[in-house]
Structure 1
Amino acid sequence: MPHHQSRRSIIAAFSFMFIVAAGAHAEAVVSVSPRLANVSILATGGTIAGTGATSTTTVGYTAATVGVQNLIKAVPELAKVANVTGEQVFQIASENMSNEHWLVLAKRVNVLLAQANVDGVVITHGTDTLEETAYFLNLVVKSRKPVVLVGAMRPSTALSADGPINLYNAVLLAASVEAAGKGVLVAMNDQIQAARDITKTNTSTLDSFRTPELGMLGYIQGGKPFFYRQSSRRHTQDTEFDVSALASLPQVDIVYGHANVGPAAVDAFVAAGARGIIHAGVGNGSLAAKVKPALTSARQKGVLVVRASRVGQGIVARNGEANDDELDFVVADTLNPQKARILLMLALTKTDSSKDIQRMFYTY
């Protein structure tokens, strides 16, 4: 008998089980099936847990009002694809997601995935920063077991709300053997996306989450995931990052490039104690004449500078629009500014060497 089947058979003798987490309410699971995978749903709030004044309210609704058990009850079909438990980790709109939230979430995910009776984790999340949380977890989760983030573009009370089917697909994906070892995934709009590459591309449409240049990983159709590619970048258990003992993350801020940009934002972030700055430059990460001296000064003060691009696609070429070797800057490769910030924060927990950090940007 395969190991995962024997593990499930052991817990099948129990009619219920509990997830116990510090500060979290334990939730029971009833009628455990030995044939199904065990998936823990960690709820953080967002539109998927939101409510509107009417069934046609798709903007101006209130996020993060529905609890995890009601989310699960709204999709009884979940019982056909997995033994599901629910845990309310946070109840926030995702624009309020912080470094501290990420550390709590990552540690909880790693604790759950280390348990023999957990086969996968689904995280319900607001869409505004879903891509950032997914990439952070992609770098710090220490397991090959599936981790799937899911959200919704419409609140739970809306006509044709997308949350229920998205949640069903996310649980199905987290319960599948096909998803193991592929890094942290995002299940939205019947598609499977990679945490490193996905981004939100539209303020409100259901197909907002895309990987414009490199493409999605696959589809979920007919109750089955279909994978067509996977990321070649290192992730999860193969990274060098460990947050188990971290209580905080280094301060890294983003400076946005635009016409007539000046040095004020760079100077303010340095004065506020930033250890790193992501410069979201125009084009190929270009540096405006008024900003370059401020960034050069920041690097001389020990602040790591990463050249990214506001464009959203393409490689930022090292020694292209700036002499990065001479300036001792790092380039973001294909990471967008918000994801470059995440990698730089984690990199700074390991080293202050720009050369080593550049290696990380080409690795992850």
Structure 2
Amino acid sequence: MATEIQNPNILVLATGGSIAQTSPDVPTLTGKSLLNAIPEFQNEAGIVVEQISQVSSPDVTADHWLVLARRINMAAVDDQIHGIVVTHGTDTLEETAFFLHLTVKSDKPVVVVGAMRRPYSLGADGAANLRDGIVLAGWPEARGRGVLVVLNSEIHSARDVSKTNCNLDAFKSPDFGILGQMVGGRPHFYRRVERRHTLGTAFPAALFRLPRVAIVYSHVGVTPDILGAVAASGYEGIVWAGTGSGSLPMAIRPAATGIVKSGLAFVRSSRVNCGHVKRNDEVDDDALGLITADSLNPQKARILLMLSLTQSRDPVKIQELFDTH
């Protein structure tokens, strides 16, 4: 079955990553080279490719996010562009996708794709994922669903998806499942995301700086000095990746309370796929001034906290953002 493009005017923004990596260390292929690997799109005049960056995903920074979001928001107001695809390395793909999910101010489809196998590997998946991403970005029913991630023929919400292993089926949405599937080159949707995204978020399109937020990982024997070191390093917030439902050990609680009193935001999240970090369950969050991460994993809780701190320092107001986004 031939690949269908409903709206051919698609902007592809290439950022590097394993999908473009022909050597062990550096992504070398350009976005145009990636597109040339898909025979059915080689003569498609409506697909425009721009090279935004050329980095491996572990090297992506907040500055890369800000540049990418600004370019997407600029492109989204162009009536000639119907959808946008971002090629990205898989290690931090879920983080970039979630940041865009919260900061892109358009209902046009934005699709993030990557590859688990590099182009020189047997059974490389980059071309197939990029093809699916381009089709999905041009599909009318993809509008208004927030930022999407498509790999291995599965369509995920940027809010829910996570890289769970290093195999071909690495990307999963553990708590809520996929949004849909690519079947025979066509998207098939089964659900929507109810939490606020894109046009509905509390965050502005024009951002030029993000507050510094650290993730502190809990473990047996964890001591409070690590929190003090983070606080002394100029961070504006901490995400606690706790055991179970975001447990906060007794030895840590005085330090956490002191950090909150000093003006830093403190979010309890879980280092495991626990579903939902319940408020006032493990600790009295209200009394301590803590924020709970809802169903977000630590890395996504960090992104939402960074954005929330651009709006408020009040833990009650930040909690409202976590409860709705």
Question: TM-score range with shorter-chain normalisation?
Answer: over 0.9
In the TM superposition, residue 290 of structure 1 has moved relative to its aligned partner by 1.9
- What is the rounded CA distance, in whole Å, between the counterparts of 2:69 and 2:7 in structure 1? 25
Partner of 1:15: none
Partner of 1:231: 193
Partner of 1:48: 19
Checking the alignment, whether the CA contact within 8 Å between 1:45 and 1:125 is kept in structure 2 is yes
- What is the rounded CA distance, in whole Å, between the counterparts of 1:341 and 1:78 in structure 2? 37
Partner of 1:275: 236
Q: Does 1:327 align with 2:288?
A: yes
Q: Answer with 1 or 2: which has the greater Rg.
A: 1
In the TM superposition, residue 78 of structure 1 has moved relative to its aligned partner by 2.5
What is the SS of the residue equivalent to 2:54?
Answer: strand
Checking the alignment, whether the CA contact within 8 Å between 2:11 and 2:48 is kept in structure 1 is yes
Partner of 1:129: 92
Partner amino acid, structure 1, of 2:173: T
Checking the alignment, whether the CA contact within 8 Å between 1:201 and 1:210 is kept in structure 2 is yes
Q: Deviations over 1:1-25 (max 9, x none)?
A: xxxxxxxxxxxxxxxxxxxxxxxxx
Q: How many residues align?
A: 321
Partner amino acid, structure 2, of 1:149: V
Checking the alignment, whether the CA contact within 8 Å between 2:21 and 2:118 is kept in structure 1 is yes
What is the SS of the residue equivalent to 1:40?
Answer: strand
Candidates 49, 52, 57, aligned match of 1:86: 49
- What is the rounded CA distance, in whole Å, between the counterparts of 2:294 and 2:261 in structure 1? 23
Q: Does 1:104 align with 2:67?
A: yes
Q: Deviations over 1:277-314 (max 9, x none)?
A: 00010011111122111111100100010000001231
In the TM superposition, residue 77 of structure 1 has moved relative to its aligned partner by 1.5
Partner amino acid, structure 1, of 2:220: A
User: Pairwise CA RMSD of aligned residues?
Assistant: 1.4
Partner amino acid, structure 2, of 1:73: N
Per chain length, whose mean CA-contact separation is higher, i.e. which structure has more relative contact order (CA < 8 Å, sep 6+)? 2
Q: Does 1:289 align with 2:260?
A: no
Q: Which runs of 5+ in 2 are unaligned?
A: none
- What is the rounded CA distance, in whole Å, between the counterparts of 1:109 and 1:268 in structure 2? 37
Partner of 2:169: 207
Partner of 2:277: 316
What is the SS of the residue equivalent to 1:164?
Answer: helix
Checking the alignment, whether the CA contact within 8 Å between 2:36 and 2:42 is kept in structure 1 is no
What is the SS of the residue equivalent to 1:181?
Answer: coil
**Off by >2 Å, runs of 4+ in structure 1:** 34-37, 78-82
Q: TM-score, normalising length from structure 2?
A: 0.96
Partner of 1:241: 203
Cα separation, partners in 2 of 1:109 and 1:127, compared to 1, 3 Å: same
- What is the rounded CA distance, in whole Å, between the counterparts of 2:163 and 2:44 in structure 1? 28
Among the aligned pairs, what percent are the same residue? 48
Partner amino acid, structure 1, of 2:141: E
Partner amino acid, structure 1, of 2:101: N
- What is the rounded CA distance, in whole Å, between the counterparts of 1:80 and 1:160 in structure 2? 24
- What is the rounded CA distance, in whole Å, between the counterparts of 1:312 and 1:128 in structure 2? 18
Checking the alignment, whether the CA contact within 8 Å between 1:78 and 1:171 is kept in structure 2 is no
- What is the rounded CA distance, in whole Å, between the counterparts of 1:318 and 1:257 in structure 2? 18
- Write out aligned runs for 1:66-85 (5 A): 66-78=29-41, 83-85=46-48
Q: Deviations over 1:192-226 (max 9, x none)?
A: 00000000000x21100001221001100112100
Q: Which runs of 5+ in 1 are unaligned?
A: 1-33, 53-60
In the TM superposition, residue 99 of structure 1 has moved relative to its aligned partner by 0.8
Checking the alignment, whether the CA contact within 8 Å between 2:82 and 2:108 is kept in structure 1 is yes
Partner amino acid, structure 1, of 2:167: T
Candidates 309, 319, 322, aligned match of 1:358: 319
Partner of 1:142: 105
Checking the alignment, whether the CA contact within 8 Å between 1:81 and 1:171 is kept in structure 2 is no
What is the SS of the residue equivalent to 1:241?
Answer: coil
- What is the rounded CA distance, in whole Å, between the counterparts of 2:323 and 2:114 in structure 1? 29
